[in-house]
Structure 1
Amino acid sequence: MKRNRTIVFYLDRLEMGGVERIVLNLIKGMKGKEWTPRLVLNRLEGALLKELPSEVPLHSLNAHHLPSAVLSLARFLKKERPAILVSQRAYLNVIAAAAIQLSGRKTKLVLTEHTLLSEWWKDSRMPQRPIDRLLCGLLPMIGRMADAVVGISQGVARELEKTLKLPRERIHILYNPIIPEDLEEKIVQPIVEPWPKDEIPLVLAVGRLSPEKGYDLLLEAFAKLKSEARLAVIGNGPELPRLEELVARLRLSEKVFFLGYQSNPFPWIERADLLALSSVLDSFPTVLVEAMALGKPIVAFDCPHGPGEIIQHGENGLLVPPKDPAALARSMEKVLGDPPLALRLGRGGRLRAQDFRFETTVRAYERLFQNLLDK
């Protein structure tokens, strides 16, 4: 009898975001092997839908609130009987655990967390929803129901150990699959730069325009630069109007460019002279590894907890005290004004990026799934 090796990945939507990109990478890495990956969404929405391989089954629950999501997912599990269900984020983890209980199935449950929830609630700039606090109160119970709990970094794993009250051996640290196998092809795709052709250095930032990314701090830092430079920001999000107002107020309209969503950021990273990360919270900023893979120097806030786990200060990037625009400006100035330093940091970054190769991290997930099926 053929063994059930169907892995269902569960998300809300397939919008442009780090978590969604990671799930898409896992699906791409597993398809065509001994596994059968599937994707289930609460709603059939998102800019990344067009990047899902056509041979991967896609199912929409058409669910717009928590109760309907639980019921619809339970019906799906009862009918389709997947071997493993992999969910992401606290909200979806609660739905997934409840749906498995309701379905009566023996589907294995893998809960994945990408966020430092306690740090999120400490920061006044973050959206504070009562439902999130309510769901977080359920997480210790949900964690005990899971067959495996995954943290995407050491910092997240420590948080899960504390929040879920689980022994550390129950928590698996699995880094995200970041560096694609077709990186060389992605780099050479043409881009159109919305500024004149010249030798002015380009500082690049990549990520959703949301409060935790700290783009207001980056703009304040950029305004302090003494040397000539441009800043380009890739990403969409609710902060755009506020950031555009800040650009005008700082008189940076001729130097700052919001490029919106880019399905392939690698040509822009390749074009950049420096990658800047201004997050106030970031459990594992994938753009740092992407920039390292292309040998780009990096300046990043040492926020909880991801940047310090990826970057060795002075070897493959520069870490800056968090929420300090003046310090960020000084470090950017230092790299832009010292080509040998930029080259050395870039070389160190290329070496560090090897730890996050696509095939390496996909294999780690496959080992976890195999161990669950063997129990």
Structure 2
Amino acid sequence: MSQRKNIVVLIINCLQGGGAERSVLSLGQGFHEIGYQVHIIRFKPLVEYDLNPRLNYHLIKFKPYKLIPSEQLRHKLFARKLDRYILEKIGQPDIILSNLQRSDSVVAYSSLPNITHIIHNTISLEYKFNSVKNINHVRNKLINTYSNHPCVCVSDGVKRDFIESLGAITPITTIHNPIDQSEIQQLSTAFVPKYNNYMIHVGSFKAVKCHNVLLRAYAKTNRSLPLLLLGQGKLQSEIEKLIIDLGLAEKVFLLGFQKNAYPYMKHAKFKILTSSQEGLPMVILEALAIGTPVISTDCQSGPKEMLPENNLMPVGNIDAIAKKMSQAIQNPEQFSVPFDAAYLPHQIAKKHIDFMNSVS
């Protein structure tokens, strides 16, 4: 008789383009490498990534439950459906890992054991603790969500902010997101971009990515390297207008969302990140995995845990960012950083197992 494999279930709203979504797929691969049967459950059909055939995928549609007027009731009822599905279709999991707000809000009501929430974002910034009017209501809602199960934060900054925002409400630790270096290196050779000698930014066109700051800083450099912007989002039209207003139309190129951005990253002289907030920006680790130099804003959490101080820039400081960009344009290799094997998927999976065992 063959021995039963341990089962891990990773839950996320969808597999549309995003860092958390990529990390779920990589973490699933890590668990597979150490002998687990891996199941990934999503609530929406959207998929923008090539799916590893060695993992198992499930779709349980949340959309019909949106008709239930009470948010709490819809999450409770959907949690019951989720529990039944897991036990009937998958079996009793040894580990359940919930990712991002929609999944967390549902899984908080699950009655299954061995659940952990993975906190991908800085709570106080994501929920605007400094400006939201009903702060106590928001905080209590988050406490109700996250106090039922242990939490894993993807960076020390995210963990520190979680405790400062919500208190010591549950066992908590830091485990970084995984990076499948061999897969990234392989994907990075898929083609050679038609562009030569350029810098690159990869990220959605949304406010926290601060494309406006990036462009204004770039305009202050000698512009000897073109700037490629990979991504999509609701602010794209504003960014396109700013490119024209700054006279950058012949130097900045918008390439949209790329299913495989790694060849562009591999052939870039350097990667830049100008975000105002991040959890653990995967694009930094991905660039390091293929040997591309990186400079980044020093967000509240994330970049400082992956990059030396010389590679960091103050958030929102256009002049300082322009100065660092100019240094990178002149000599990008001074911002090269070796990739740390501790980020490999099987190593990160083992850390999740160790944490689960420590709190069980």
Q: TM range, normalised to the smaller chain? A: 0.7 to 0.9
Residue 135 of structure 1: how far off its partner (Å): 5.2
With structure 1 as the length reference, what TM-score do the two structures score?
0.84
How do residues 293-312 of structure 1 correspond to structure 2 at under 5 angstroms?
293-312=289-308
Picking from 230, 237, 242, the partner of 1:234 is: 230
Matched residue, 1:75: 81
Q: Is the 8 A contact 2:44 2:59 kept in 1?
A: no
CA change 1:355–1:31 in 2 (3 A) is: closer
Q: Is the 8 A contact 1:110 1:150 kept in 2?
A: yes
Matched residue, 1:335: 328
Superposed CA deviations along residues 92-121 of structure 1, whole A, max 9, x for unmatched, are 3122112x1xxxx44322111111121335
Residue 7 of structure 1: how far off its partner (Å): 2.1
Q: Is the 8 A contact 1:91 1:135 kept in 2?
A: no
CA change 1:129–1:182 in 2 (3 A) is: farther
**Percentage identity across paired residues of the two chains:** 22
Picking from 151, 158, 169, the partner of 1:156 is: 158
Q: Is the 8 A contact 1:44 1:62 kept in 2?
A: no
- Compare 303-312 and 4-13 and name the one that shifted more: 4-13
AA paired with 2:335?
Answer: L
CA change 1:140–1:249 in 2 (3 A) is: same
SS in 2 for 1:51: coil
Q: Is the 8 A contact 1:207 1:235 kept in 2?
A: yes
Matched residue, 1:290: 286
Distance of 1:133 and 1:263 partners within structure 2: 40
Picking from 197, 205, 224, the partner of 2:201 is: 205
Residue 300 of structure 1: how far off its partner (Å): 1.2
Picking from 260, 265, 283, the partner of 2:261 is: 265
CA RMSD, 1 decimal: 2.7
SS in 2 for 1:138: helix
Picking from 89, 92, 100, the partner of 2:103 is: 92
Q: Does 1:44 align with 2:42?
A: no
Matched residue, 1:115: 121
Superposed CA deviations along residues 265-308 of structure 1, whole A, max 9, x for unmatched, are 22111110011110000121111112222332222111212111
Query: What 5-or-longer segments of structure 1 have no aligned partner?
Result: none
Picking from 141, 144, 147, the partner of 2:144 is: 141
Residue 180 of structure 1: how far off its partner (Å): 2.9
Query: What 5-or-longer segments of structure 2 have no aligned partner?
Result: none
Residue 150 of structure 1: how far off its partner (Å): 0.5
Residue 214 of structure 1: how far off its partner (Å): 0.7
Distance of 2:178 and 2:133 partners within structure 1: 30
CA change 1:243–1:289 in 2 (3 A) is: same
Distance of 1:134 and 1:181 partners within structure 2: 45
AA paired with 2:8?
Answer: I
Superposed CA deviations along residues 41-97 of structure 1, whole A, max 9, x for unmatched, are 22111312x424365131222436355454233223134324233212244312211
Q: Does 1:367 align with 2:357?
A: no
Task: Give the aligned length.
Answer: 348
Distance of 1:240 and 1:152 partners within structure 2: 28
Q: Using CA pairs below 8 Å that are at least 6 residues apart, which structure has the higher relative contact order?
A: 2
Superposed CA deviations along residues 5-56 of structure 1, whole A, max 9, x for unmatched, are 33221111111000111001111222365322212222111312x4243651
Matched residue, 1:214: 210
SS in 2 for 1:44: coil
Matched residue, 1:63: 63
Picking from 239, 251, 256, the partner of 2:247 is: 251
Distance of 1:297 and 1:123 partners within structure 2: 34
Distance of 2:324 and 2:129 partners within structure 1: 24
